[in-house]
Amino acid sequence: MAATQVIRSEWTKIRSVASTVWTLSLAVVVTLALGMLISALSRNEFGNMPARERLSFDPTFVSFAGMTIGQLAMIVFGVLVVSNEYSTGMIRTSLAAVPRRGAFLASKVAVAAALALLVGMATSFAAFFLGQAMLGPLKTSITAPGVLGAVIGGGLYMTLIAVFSMAAAVMLRSPLLSLGILMPFFFLISNILGNVSATKKVGQYLPDQAGSRILRVLPRVGDDTPYGPWGGLGIMALWVIAALAAGYALLRRRDA
């Protein structure tokens, strides 16, 4: 099967499954709604904040507050894109039609990543502008130093989360097992390791801890992270590449 046919087939699979479409829609709605709410609350509470917090107040980062929950939907999207075929048994048909497993995986990742990038970028820009509208006099501008990079980086971050989740689903094959590992990892274990002093030096190199650094324009007071925003996104990209390589290795070695 030609590469264009494989890509077209993967696109058909994604858009024909209602759960993937709804999941991406949820990522947009939740990210924007929560970002606007947190921005409005921050505006009202700014005067009551300790001086230390006011010094490191980052209007851009505040507008991205919804991405914490929005990335949950991206994780679900990445898992569903892969595991739907395993749970329905369609993976056997797909691999019979595309016996070159590298081409099969590359096409699936390319189509899903392109869709996640489109949604992620649109969400990131919308979250920024809506959040700034809620912040009123505390707002910043898209032309301010570092802001445009953070907004673009936000879209890339959401995309990398989705692709990492796809790679995990390729390795684990089960949607329940994939979500059962990814959800606690990103929303509990990673946060604990990244914020506890005893494990912070290790935790700051985890994919989400490193990647989310791109969302900040102003570092927190006392932040001693040894890499910058784009360095953090680069670390996350390396995690994604390693996960895809592991997923491909397992896909080649085992039966569907």
Structure tokens at 114: 């392109």
Q: Spell out the domain ranges in the chain.
A: 3-253
Q: For residue 30, what are the CA distances in angstroms to 25, 67, 71, 73, 247?
A: 9, 8, 10, 9, 30
Distance of CA 7 to the CA centre of its chain: 22
In whole angstroms, give the CA distance from residue 62 to residue 218.
11
Evaluate whether 209 touches 194 at the Cβ level (below 8 Å). yes
Amino acid at 237: A
- The reported pLDDT for the residue numbered 255 is 62
Q: Over its length of 256 residues, how does the chain's per-residue pLDDT go in tens digits?
A: 556 877 887 777 777 777 788 888 888 999 999 999 999 999 998 888 887 778 889 999 999 999 988 898 999 999 998 887 777 777 777 777 777 888 888 889 999 999 999 999 999 999 999 999 999 999 999 999 999 999 999 999 999 999 999 999 999 988 899 999 999 999 888 888 888 888 888 889 999 999 999 999 988 777 788 999 999 999 999 999 999 999 999 988 876 5
Surface-to-core class of residue 128, CB atoms within 10 Å of its CB (0-12 exposed, 13-18 middle, 19+ buried):
buried
The reported pTM is 0.91
